[in-house]
């Protein structure tokens, strides 16, 4: 079988925009063909070669820049004058280059998987739309994606502009300093990778939300049926008359009848169609679980590299803030406000990765809760429905999924707390030293 299958699918909205950016950045070897309301995408040999060449050039030029900045006239260097700053910048450039290279050289396998699960999601959403309309969150998704990209690009431009101005003012190595632009380009490529992953997970999350909305409607139907049954039992139960009771006068009976509200009788609700619906939703849930596994497996290596890079940046940036405040003799001293802006940016990036994955886990928990509630309120006379609900619940128990890059850690909010705790401990030690 060819490594470049002829499979193609349609992408729309924010995901198509980010995939287009990823293609330009060289980390998504895809070809695009315009169609009504979206884009046909497929893997591309030319885009694959372009991405590998571009990522290699960015890695080589970034590494060459930091190398000559350290080796040639280190006393005139603005960023790598001391041993500590050399280590920091070497680690920074290396981790960013690792993310970009990983994305480029795994691009064809990731995009092949993307075509598979994009087709699955398209089919899932089409089937779910028969039961419930798709959530309208496209505007929010586009706002988040565009805002994050603008935030990153503007921060990089301001930081680079201040850096070049200080180099020129201090008569530093202007040519070498200008070559740091390749590192900044790599940082923008990394941001494109990050936002694209966030949008991919959000697409899966949207399908899971549609599924839960369908289950909520079914639960409400079951609750209504249960309420009608209880209502009928209350008013339709036979009245046992005591033969020894004294006779009630006709006048009293007429008086009571005149003051009674009219009872229109209850409407018997049927749940005959619900078992087949539950079966279809259970199969769609299993399909969504398959998509989550595909996303997790195809992005495992690159997300692991991204999390390592974010952890390093979240350690380095507060370190720069503290040392810029207390050490006024630093050669690369810059505005603490700008460094604080970088810290906020890296934390927002951490949220962009973790939050959609955490919300996916919440939706899976909600699915489990909805099914348990449906089992609870379904009467024993609906045996077929109970059997389908029990089968769905077994899928929930035996078919557990989560986003865990390389099976090393789960992407949820507890990971953020753990990382922030470790960083805080490190910074406390640095301040005390």
What tens digit of pLDDT does each residue of 48-106 get? 999 999 999 999 999 999 999 888 877 777 777 778 788 888 999 999 999 999 999 99
Measured CA distances, 212 to 105, 139, 355, 422 (Å): 37, 21, 19, 36
pLDDT digits (tens, 9 = 90+) for 2-17: 444 467 888 988 999 9
Q: Which residue has the higher pLDDT, 186 or 382?
A: 186
* Per-residue confidence band for 266, with pLDDT thresholds at 50, 70 and 90: very low
User: Whole-number mean pLDDT of the chain?
Assistant: 84
Q: Which residue has the higher pLDDT, 373 or 227?
A: 373
The DSSP line for 134-193 is PP--HHHHHHHHHHHHHHHHHHHHHHHHHHHHHHHHTT--HHHHHTTHHHHHHHHHHHHH
- With contact defined as beta carbons under 8 Å apart, do 274 and 385 qualify? yes
Taking Cα atoms as reference points, which of 307, 343, 322, 337 lies closest to residue 416? 307
Point out the least confidently predicted range of 79-88, 145-154, 319-328, 346-355.
319-328
Handedness of CA 144, 147, 188, 29 (dihedral sign): positive
- With contact defined as beta carbons under 8 Å apart, do 69 and 76 qualify? no
Domain residue extents for the chain: 51-232+272-432
How many other C-beta atoms lie within 10 A of the C-beta of residue 327?
9
Phi, psi of 35, deg, nearest 5: -140, 175
Distance CA 135, CA 142 (A): 14
pLDDT digits (tens, 9 = 90+) for 270-306: 566 688 899 999 999 999 999 999 999 999 999 999 9
């Amino acid at each position: 079988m060819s490594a470049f299958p002829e499979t193609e699918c349609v992408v729309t909205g924010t995901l198509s925009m980010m995939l287009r950016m990823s293609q330009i950045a060289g980390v998504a070897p895809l070809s695009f063909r315009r169609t009504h309301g979206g884009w046909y995408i497929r893997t591309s040999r030319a885009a694959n070669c372009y991405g590998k060449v571009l990522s290699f050039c960015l890695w080589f030029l970034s590494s060459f820049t930091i190398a000559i900045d350290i080796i040639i006239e280190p006393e005139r260097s603005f960023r790598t004058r001391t041993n500590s700053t050399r280590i920091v910048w070497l680690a920074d450039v290396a981790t960013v280059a690792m993310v970009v290279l990983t994305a480029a050289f795994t691009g064809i396998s990731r995009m092949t998987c993307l075509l598979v699960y994009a087709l699955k999601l398209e089919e899932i959403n089409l089937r779910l739309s028969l039961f419930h309309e798709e959530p309208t969150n496209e505007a929010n998704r586009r706002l988040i994606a565009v805002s994050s990209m603008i935030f990153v690009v503007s921060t990089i431009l301001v930081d680079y502009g201040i850096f070049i101005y200080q180099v020129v003012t201090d008569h530093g190595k202007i040519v070498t300093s200008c070559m740091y632009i390749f590192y900044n380009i790599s940082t923008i490529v990394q941001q494109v990778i990050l936002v694209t992953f966030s949008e991919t997970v959000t697409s899966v999350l949207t399908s899971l939300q549609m599924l839960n909305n369908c289950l909520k409607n079914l639960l409400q139907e079951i609750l209504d049926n249960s309420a009608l049954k209880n209502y009928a039992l209350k008013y339709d139960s036979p009245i046992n008359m005591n033969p020894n009771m004294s006779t009630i006068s006709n006048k009293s009976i007429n008086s009571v009848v005149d003051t009674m509200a009219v009872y229109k009788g209850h409407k018997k609700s049927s749940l005959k169609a619900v078992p087949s619906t539950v079966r279809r939703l259970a199969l769609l849930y299993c399909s969504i679980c398959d998509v989550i596994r595909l996303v997790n497996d195809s992005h495992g290596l690159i997300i692991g590299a991204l999390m390592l890079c974010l952890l390093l940046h979240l350690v380095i940036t507060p370190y720069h803030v503290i040392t810029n405040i207390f050490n006024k003799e630093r050669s690369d001293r810059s505005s603490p406000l700008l460094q604080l802006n970088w810290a906020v940016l890296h934390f927002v990036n951490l949220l962009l990765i973790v939050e959609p994955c955490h919300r996916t886990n919440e939706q899976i928990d909600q699915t489990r809760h909805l099914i348990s509630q449906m089992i609870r309120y379904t009467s024993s006379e609906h045996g077929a429905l109970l059997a389908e609900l029990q089968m769905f619940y077994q899928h929930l128990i035996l078919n557990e999924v989560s986003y865990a890059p390389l099976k090393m850690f789960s992407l949820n909010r507890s990971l953020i707390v753990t990382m922030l705790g470790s960083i805080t401990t490190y910074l406390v030690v640095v301040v005390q030293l």
